[in-house]
Amino acid sequence: MIDFTVGAPVTGDLDVRWVHGSPPREPRSDPAVQVHWYDPHTAVLRQSKDVTFEAPFVFLLFGNKRALLLDTGATKDDAIATQVDALVGEWLGRNPRPDYPLVVAHTHGHADHRSGDAAFAGRPDTTLLATDSDAVAAFFGFVNWPVDVVRFDLGGRTLDLTGIPGHQKASIAVYDPWTGILFTGDSMMPGRLYVENMAAFSDSLARLVAFSDQRHVTHVFGCHVEMTRTPGRDYYPGCRYQPDEVAPGMTPAQLRAVEAAVASVADRPGVHTFDDVIVYNGMGPGAQARLAARGIAGAVRSRLCGSR
């Protein structure tokens, strides 16, 4: 049995160059899915921008009794499922178990985080969660959604979860004491924060700050990177090549700064730019497609990404 308490939080490896798409007018050369072991019991996957401009991160956490997959990616194929099967096989090769279930959950219910669900639907020993808030609350044992903090045991590796709606109704945050990582989906990430319900979003961020202050958080890890390394400057919506993107792992200090930033514009619908994020107040993720179609970011498109 692995002791997931001794030495926690462990020092993992985030010294990695993530796949970020191929240069314009050049052959696409990224792997469809990049796999990186943060530590021997935690894998981070990223879909390539050569496959989908969303390029979401997906997370696989192993415990003694079962594994948890957070999200299934942005494409309706088995790309993520194939990698997950290989990773589970690799982990079981190091840590043999006779039976080892997989739980497939989602940071939230938007399509770019659940499009690969079908590939897991018939997988043996697999529980695939629905993406509505009622199903999420029922499975994890929320009594008062979204404010409860509930625990989910992977077998000696016990996670803390809370609801963080506002970006999407079923959004959750997951804290892993083993790594110290706080997984925040699209509610906190270095990119565009699309807010469907500002009252719920502001409340979620305030609770998330309090939640993180009570825990040893090493990284705040969302599901996308859309910002460059220049503060306040993002890649245009739909960009397929991001060679200068900022690292995905954020800090608790950045979380507090973003919570304050969001509070400062809560009563002002529109687009608000800050160093680490751009807040789209009153604009859901469909705004991304509209902005790309209208070419609002055309001026930076040619400078940062070129065009295909």
Decide: 172 and 136 in contact? Cβ < 8 Å: yes
pLDDT band at residue 28 under the 50/70/90 scheme:
confident
pLDDT score for 29: 86
Decide: helix, strand or coil at residue 120: helix
Average pLDDT over residues 95-123: 97
The mean per-residue pLDDT over the stretch 293-308 comes to 43
Tens digit of each residue's pLDDT (9 = 90 or more) over 197-224: 999 999 999 999 999 999 999 999 999 9
Determine the pLDDT at residue 212: 98
pLDDT at 301: 44
Q: Could you tell me the residue ranges of all domains in the chain?
A: 33-305
One DSSP character per residue, 282-306 reads T--THHHHHHHHHTTTHHHIIIII-
Per-residue pLDDT, 149: 98
285: pLDDT strictly greater than 90: no
Structure tokens at 94: 């190091």
pLDDT at residue 248 is higher than 70: yes
Q: Please say if the pLDDT value at position 90 is more than 90.
A: yes
- The confidence score (pLDDT) of residue 288 equals 54
Interval 21-43 mean pLDDT:
93
DSSP codes of every residue in 168-236: STT-EEEEETTTTEEEEETTSSSSEEEES-HHHHHHHHHHHHHHHHTS--SEEEES---BBSSTT-BPP
Average pLDDT over residues 160-168: 98
Can you tell me the distance from the alpha carbon of 166 to that of 240, in angstroms, rounded to the nearest whole number? 27
The per-residue pLDDT for 299 is 36
- State percent of the chain over pLDDT 70: 92
pLDDT band at 286 (very low <50, low <70, confident <90, very high): low
Rg for the chain, CA atoms, rounded: 19
The whole-number pLDDT of residue 123 equals 95
Give the Å distances, CA to CA, from 24 to 29, 49, 243.
12, 12, 11
Residue 116 pLDDT = 97
Q: What is the pTM of this model?
A: 0.93
Distance set, CA 307 to CA 172, 236, 282 (Å): 35, 11, 29
The pLDDT of residue 298 is above 60: no
What kind of architecture, by CATH, is found in domain 33-305? 4-Layer Sandwich (3.60)
**Phi–psi pair at 56, nearest 5 degrees:** -75, 155
Residue 234 near residue 301 (C-beta atoms within 8 A): no
Q: Is the pLDDT of residue 154 over 90?
A: yes
The predicted structure's pLDDT at residue 290 = 56
